[in-house]
Structure 1
Amino acid sequence: MRQKAFVVAVPAAVPGERRSLEPLRALIVDDDEFDRMTVKRMMLSAGFAVRAEECESAASALRLLEAESFDLVLLDFNLNLPTYDGLYVVRALRARGVRVPVVVLTGQDNAEVAVELMKAGASDYLAKSSLSADRLGHALRSALRIHRLEEEARTAQEALRASEALNHSVLAASGDCIKLLDLSGRLLSLSQAGQCMLEIDDLSTVVGSDWLDFWKDADRVAAEAALERARAGEPGRFVGHCPSMKGKSLWWDVLLTPIRGVDGRPERILCVSRDMTALKQRESFEQQLVGIVSHDLRNPLNAILVSADLLLRKEGLDERTVKAMSRIRSAGQRAARMIRDLLDFTQARLGGSIPITRAPADLASVCGHVIEEVALAWPERRIVPSLPARLDAYVDADRIAQVLTNLLSNALQYSPAGTDVTAALREADGLAVLDIHNHGTPIPEGFLPRLFEPLQRATAAHDRSSRSIGLGLYIVKQLVRAHSGVIEVVSTVEAGTTFTVRLPLTGMA
């Protein structure tokens, strides 16, 4: 049975919100109706006014693409397996001369598959498990932009050969750094925008120079590979660091496209470089934040906690001092948990996932201990467990305990006093299934699509003393995903709210 890649729907448009939507005629090719609907809603949330056609098979998609014009294709990689897949469709399109940009969506993130798709002519490759409206919107705009540049380059080929003056005017029309190279890689011309971005005072000093000399070390190796692909008649692309002539640090997303002659062979190479320095600077800031949080905050906080524990063990303390030290220790523990959440959040954003260390574990025992610990922190509430005698699994027990602690704390915090919270663990079809249920007001339907996004809360009213900073459920989802599992939520007035986690017992999905 095919496993759903999307668990929670994407956010719907906010009532009354005015946005300028970009028109987009798209073809969505996926044999799963739910996934097609989710992709359409994500595109709307990303700011596109979508006119979408839908196909369930490779054959119907190819026929439609030959007959009609689309701005973009969103293609499920696992389409109609085992006979066809996304790679087959991309290759068939390019073989038939259909140049529409294709963004491939897949349930699994596989670098080798991504490389093959890009070689075949796909514009981008996105894993459904980590897909969001922002990420999809960025990928679609990037694919459309690159496709537009490629089409502009094709349209300009004859004009470039006929008139060098027209060549300069086309290059000057773009705000990107655009270069024209000969097949050996020598610089023939540079757009005005590129000259300004690279801080070149005298263009004659660089025209005729070897373009590869602009790149150093690993970036030069990547540039050589991209240039070789362009010489062979295929687009070449890489990201690298190339400072300006005056030493300003600049990062570039570089696309090299062959310009063909009448005989169809590459004659020159169009190099389009997009400045992505701001993005690299944001990544650098996040990396610095990891160091600050993990060292400059965690170490002094540990000293505070140790000192508070030592003072509380001293005999002869009066009641007022004990209460004060207990508040210090409690606040320090909350701060330590916040730091842990921030570290996990940053690790997930930088590395794509939170690292885990699997080992054999008894999930029933892990859940039992967590339920006891959480119950001690909520003495006025009752947690009703339903656990098997034993359930062996290959997991990171500490991380699973973190998942359950977050879900139980969330259920207790957002349910009425005097009601029970239920924690049930069972095995089903080779999976460990964990259900956390609470009564009370359901999660607003409009918020469900954003429930697992960072820095979100289901309600405006919350306990100000809580340690939560809106990262708990985001981290829970990342930890479940790191275990190759899925998490779902059902919330209604009649049934209450249930979070369900499904994990493979063997560690393999």
Structure 2
Amino acid sequence: MTNNELSRQVAGISQLSLAAALDQSVDCVKVIGLDGTVAYVNPNGLCAMEIDAPSDVLGKQWETLWPEAGRPHIASGFATAQAGGVSRFRAHCPTAKGNSRWWDVSVSALRDDTGKLISYLAVSRDVTDAELSRQVLETATRELHHRLRNTYTMISSLIRGFARGDAHNDAFAGQMAERLIAMGRAQALFTSLEVPCSLVELIDALVLPFGSAFCPVATDQVRDMPIARALADTIALVVGELAVNSSKHGAIAHGGAITLSSEDQDGDIVITWHEISNRPVQATSRDGGQGLNLINRIVRLREGAIDLDWQPDGLTARLRFKGGAAA
């Protein structure tokens, strides 16, 4: 069905039928005039907002019904609708009786047959339960991150304590402690389940502690972009595994250099790990080794791809994810 055919069908529906459909909607449906005043609210909307009578809101500025923090969304919503788009936002607004509510709101334009803007349609859905559940989960996640960082610190202290007095073990303990601290820093980048983190900050936290004069690690070619939590976890696992592999068999263990870079290729994020070791590569796999197999499984689960290009003196690993950057 074309848009014109759909428009003709909608035009054939009586105003009475349209009004009945709006009245039966479970969402809070409002028609807002061009001057920003409320021209219509459906009965379920009045109930959801705990408004006793339509006269309590009709003719009032819609933005004045919102707390100060939510009002910029209203102006932005009108501007988006005027330009032909649909604005969506989530904000807090108590009911008329003062009860706390969270709303998912969409604002779009209503136009006449000539395309002239005549009013705005605002649809609000009560998402209080979902928002409160999200906040509880986010608080619990922050607490888990805090405890995890404390655990890393405790393990680092224990490792250093057990190794004290043995020069060989003490050096190893110092290296392990640095890696545990790096893992803690990577976790600290996420203060929210939804807010993305910086790719540069993530990569730096993961690999810079491995760098030394013996094996410099360069990240200045990493292009910064926001990375969603799920993808960042995958990147952390893969880059972490490459670093561990290098610390056992490659440049970190035997000297050399590591360079990381990233770029946006047609909307995909591509991360490159380039490693040159002072010792020639002895083997690209070993019996019982699970690391590289783990990397491949992790990347496939994220609908990504990884290419491992082994050279006589090192490795170039290219990691690609579709639509990697967070919106």
The two structures have a TM-score, normalised by structure 1, of: 0.39
For the residues of structure 2 that align with 1:401 and 1:202, how far apart are their CA atoms? Answer: 55
Q: Say which is worse superposed, 275-284 or 428-437, in terms of deviation.
A: 428-437
Change in 2 beyond 3 A, CA 1:346/1:500? farther
Contact 2:32/2:40 (<8 A) preserved: yes
The alpha carbon displacement at 1:249 in A equals 3.1
> Any idea what the Cα deviations from partners look like across 1:374-394, whole Å, max 9, x if unmatched?
xxxxxxxxxxxxxxxx89662
2:242 counterpart (371, 382, 407): 407
1:257 counterpart (82, 100, 108): 108
Return the letter of the residue paired with 1:406: E
Match of 2:195 in 1: 350
Counterpart of 1:195 in 2: which secondary structure? helix
Counterpart of 2:60 in 1: which secondary structure? coil
Change in 2 beyond 3 A, CA 1:213/1:433? same
Match of 1:168 in 2: 19
RMSD in angstroms over aligned alpha carbons? 5.6
Match of 1:234 in 2: 84
2:274 counterpart (416, 428, 433): 433
For the residues of structure 2 that align with 1:428 and 1:403, how far apart are their CA atoms? Answer: 13
The alpha carbon displacement at 1:500 in A equals 0.9
> Any idea what the Cα deviations from partners look like across 1:225-284, whole Å, max 9, x if unmatched?
322554x46345141322222333333332222222244322232212244445544553
Match of 1:292 in 2: 143
For the residues of structure 2 that align with 1:432 and 1:499, how far apart are their CA atoms? Answer: 6
Return the letter of the residue paired with 1:438: S
Change in 2 beyond 3 A, CA 1:451/1:500? farther
> Any idea what the Cα deviations from partners look like across 1:13-66, whole Å, max 9, x if unmatched?
xxxxxxxxxxxxxxxxxxxxxxxxxxxxxxxxxxxxxxxxxxxxxxxxxxxxxx
Q: Does 1:196 align with 2:47?
A: yes
For the residues of structure 2 that align with 1:368 and 1:278, how far apart are their CA atoms? Answer: 54
For the residues of structure 1 that align with 2:181 and 2:237, how far apart are their CA atoms? Answer: 14
Contact 1:348/1:354 (<8 A) preserved: no
Match of 2:117 in 1: 266
The alignment-based identity, stated in percent, is: 23
Change in 2 beyond 3 A, CA 1:158/1:212? farther
The alpha carbon displacement at 1:439 in A equals 3.9
For the residues of structure 1 that align with 2:68 and 2:37, how far apart are their CA atoms? Answer: 19
How many aligned positions are there?
268
Contact 1:195/1:203 (<8 A) preserved: yes
Change in 2 beyond 3 A, CA 1:263/1:181? same
Match of 1:222 in 2: 73
> Any idea what the Cα deviations from partners look like across 1:408-452, whole Å, max 9, x if unmatched?
54799xxxxxxx956696889997624994245884999465445
Change in 2 beyond 3 A, CA 1:294/1:168? same
Match of 2:229 in 1: none
For the residues of structure 2 that align with 1:245 and 1:176, how far apart are their CA atoms? Answer: 17
Q: Does 1:488 align with 2:314?
A: no
Q: Does 1:500 align with 2:326?
A: no
For the residues of structure 1 that align with 2:129 and 2:115, how far apart are their CA atoms? Answer: 38
In structure 2, runs of 5+ residues without a counterpart are 166-173, 223-234, 263-271, 310-314, 321-327
> Any idea what the Cα deviations from partners look like across 1:316-344, whole Å, max 9, x if unmatched?
xxxxxxxxxxxxx9x99998676555435
Match of 1:394 in 2: 220
The alpha carbon displacement at 1:212 in A equals 1.5
In structure 1, runs of 5+ residues without a counterpart are 1-67, 70-96, 100-150, 315-328, 371-389, 413-419, 454-476, 478-486, 492-497, 504-509
Change in 2 beyond 3 A, CA 1:275/1:407? farther
For the residues of structure 2 that align with 1:281 and 1:448, how far apart are their CA atoms? Answer: 31
